């Protein structure tokens, strides 16, 4: 009798956004489970509404699996959905679902990435989510635009850092806020595919540079499936402030998580202190193991506070009906 392993399933908080007709590379996050210490792993990809395993054998296929990455060459509107990567060996199985949204080019502002810079200092914009293309040595000659107008090559206010994904803006002013676009290209098997990211820049007064700002969750609701593990990270931007000056906590119905959930079904994960592009962040995850229906009627909040100010971000967990095959 064939033994069927039941998979641990995590809903990955990462959400990929892309314009129709552009290249996309989804990356399956690595698993750290002790059962995966050997090398006899099998990784597969499939879309949540299909039993069909996506392969990488046919290079003519528009969607191709390449190890722990899934390539769309290019993406179509019908590709929007949840993609599941499964790693298994003889003793353990783990699945992660990753959400992809494909929109028309006219909706680019609807999928913009929020970034913040302080006024009257120099700041750095970063063209986000290019990791997969950097690994494949894509052409990183980025072209930058402000409100759809190419940035003036001779304007000394803007400095492009070659072979990086960064744009330096000297002496940031309030009027520098707005939409910025970075464009590059990815060539595969002789065909060139565009890659575009849109950034919504918000300028922050310099005197507020140490006030904590919650970067995500960036939506008021998080989709979840009852019976499965889920992690919601609260990521807090603290500028140049020292990490230890800021506290970040999760609340459920205005009660501390460890007091609300005596059975440890919902817990707060380890605090991570992060430095990205010279700026400081703190990330504290809220872990559901598993999600239950009662969570859909609970008010969750992330609170970030230091001596310069505080921010509270409420979020709701909403049920999403996805048929996960876990055998």
CA–CA distance, 142 with 23 (Å, rounded to integer): 15
Domain CATH code at residue 18: 2.60.40.10
Place of tokens 């008021």: 220
Per-residue pLDDT tens for 178-226?
999 999 988 888 899 999 999 999 888 766 667 788 888 766 788 788 8
**Do 74 and 88 reside in the same domain of the chain?**
yes
CB atoms within 10 A of CB 191: 10
Q: What mean pLDDT do residues 138-164 have?
A: 82
How far is Cα 203 from Cα 191, in angstroms, rounded to an integer?
38
Same domain for 204 and 218: no
Tell me, yes or no, whether 2 lies in a domain. Answer: no
What pLDDT score was predicted for residue 3?
A: 47
- DSSP for 231-300, written as a single string: EEEEEEE-TTS-GGG-EEEEEETTEEHHHH-TT-SEEE---EEEEETTEEEEEEEEEESS--GGGGG--E
Closest CA to 26 of 82, 78, 77, 76: 82
Q: What is the end-to-end Cα distance of the chain in Å, rounded?
A: 14
Give the total number of structural domains in the chain: 3
pLDDT value at residue 1: 36
Residue for token pair 């060539």: 187
Secondary structure class of 133 (helix, strand, coil):
helix
| 53-72 average pLDDT score | 86
Calpha distance 84→54 (Å, rounded): 10
Query: Which one, of 112, 207, 122, lies nearest residue 173 by Cα?
Result: 122
Confidence of residue 250 (pLDDT cuts 50, 70, 90): very high
Of 208, 230, 220, 204, give the one whose Cα is nearest residue 290.
Answer: 230
In this prediction, residues 109-125 reach a mean pLDDT of: 85
Question: Over pLDDT 90: what percentage of the chain?
Answer: 37
Tokens of 305: 């506070």
The model's pTM is 0.71
Residue 136 and residue 189 in contact, taking contact as beta carbons nearer than 8 Å: no
| Mean pLDDT estimate for the chain | 84
Residue 2 has pLDDT above 60, yes or no: no
* Residue-number span of the structural domain to which 159 is assigned: 112-208
pLDDT bin (cut points 50, 70, 90) of residue 326 is very low
Q: Which of 184, 208, 232 is at the close of a domain?
A: 208
**Tokens 């990330």, residue located:** 283
The answer to whether residues 224 and 314 belong to one domain is: yes
Asked if residue 294 and residue 201 are part of one domain, the reply reads: no
**Considering the domain boundaries, does residue 3 fall inside one?**
no
For 239, the token pair is: 């500028």
Q: Is 79 part of a structural domain of the chain?
A: yes
User: Please, is 317 exposed, middle or buried when counting C-beta atoms within 10 Å of its C-beta (0-12, 13-18, 19+)?
Assistant: buried
Domain end: 44, 74, 105, which one?
A: 105
Q: 232 in a domain, yes or no?
A: yes
Categorize the per-residue pLDDT at 5 as very low, low, confident or very high, splitting at 50, 70 and 90: low
Q: Do 200 and 220 share a domain, yes or no?
A: no
Q: Please enumerate in sequence order all residues whose Cβ is within 8 A of that of 60, keeping only pairs 6 or more positions apart, or say none.
A: none
Do 72 and 137 share a domain, yes or no? no
Residue 217 contacts residue 315 (beta carbons within 8 Å):
yes
pLDDT at 138: 52
Q: Are residues 98 and 32 in the same domain?
A: yes
Contact (CB, 8 A) for 113 and 201: no
For residue 171, being part of any structural domain is answered with yes
Residues 218 and 303 placed together within one structural domain of the fold: yes
Q: Counting Cβ atoms within 10 Å, is residue 22 exposed (0-12), middle (13-18) or buried (19+)?
A: buried
> Does 241 map to a domain?
yes
Find the largest Cα–Cα distance for the chain: 71
Q: Which helix (H) or strand (E) holds 135?
A: helix 131-135
Burial class (CB in 10 A: 0-12, 13-18, 19+), 171: exposed
pLDDT tens column, 159-180: 887 778 889 998 899 999 999 9
Instruction: Check residue 319 and give its pLDDT.
Output: 85
- Asked if residue 119 and residue 84 are part of one domain, the reply reads no
Does 240 lie in the same domain as 197?
no
Query: What percent of the chain stands above pLDDT 70?
Result: 86
**Residue 325 counted as domain residue:** no
Beta carbons within 8 Å of 294's beta carbon, 6+ residues apart: none
Question: Does 200 share its domain with 147?
Answer: yes
Last-in-domain residue among 182, 208, 234: 208
Per the domain annotation, does 87 fall within a domain?
yes
Q: What is the pLDDT of residue 209?
A: 66
Q: Do 187 and 226 fall into the same domain?
A: no
């Amino acid at each position: 009798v064939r033994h069927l392993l039941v998979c641990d399933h995590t809903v990955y908080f990462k959400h990929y956004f892309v314009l129709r007709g552009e290249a996309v590379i989804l990356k399956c996050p690595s698993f750290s489970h002790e059962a995966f210490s050997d090398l006899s792993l099998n990784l597969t990809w499939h879309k949540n509404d299909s039993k069909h395993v996506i392969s990488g054998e046919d290079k003519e296929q528009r969607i191709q699996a390449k190890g722990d990455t899934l390539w769309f060459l290019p993406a179509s509107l019908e590709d929007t959905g949840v993609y599941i990567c499964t790693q298994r060996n003889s003793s353990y199985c783990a699945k992660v679902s990753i959400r992809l949204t494909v929109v028309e080019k006219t909706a680019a502002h609807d999928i913009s990435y929020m970034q913040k810079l302080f006024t009257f200092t120099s700041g750095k914009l970063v063209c986000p989510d290019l990791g997969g293309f950097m690994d494949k040595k894509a052409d990183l000659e980025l072209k930058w635009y402000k409100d759809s107008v190419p940035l003036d090559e001779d304007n000394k206010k803007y400095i492009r850092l070659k072979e990086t994904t960064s744009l330096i803006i000297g002496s940031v002013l309030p009027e520098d806020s707005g939409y910025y676009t970075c464009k590059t290209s990815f060539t595969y098997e002789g065909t060139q595919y565009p890659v575009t990211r849109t950034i919504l820049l918000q300028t922050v007064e310099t005197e507020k540079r140490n006030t904590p700002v919650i970067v995500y969750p960036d939506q008021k609701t998080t989709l979840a499936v009852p019976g499965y593990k889920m992690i919601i990270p609260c990521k807090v931007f603290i500028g140049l402030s020292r990490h230890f000056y800021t506290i970040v906590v999760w609340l459920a119905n205005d009660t501390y998580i460890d007091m609300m959930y005596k059975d440890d079904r919902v817990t707060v994960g380890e605090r991570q202190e992060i430095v990205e592009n010279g700026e400081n962040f703190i990330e504290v995850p809220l872990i559901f193991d598993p999600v239950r229906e009662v969570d859909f009627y609970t008010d969750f909040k992330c609170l970030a506070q230091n001596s310069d100010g505080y921010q509270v971000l409420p979020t709701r967990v909403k049920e999403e009906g996805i048929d996960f095959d876990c055998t």
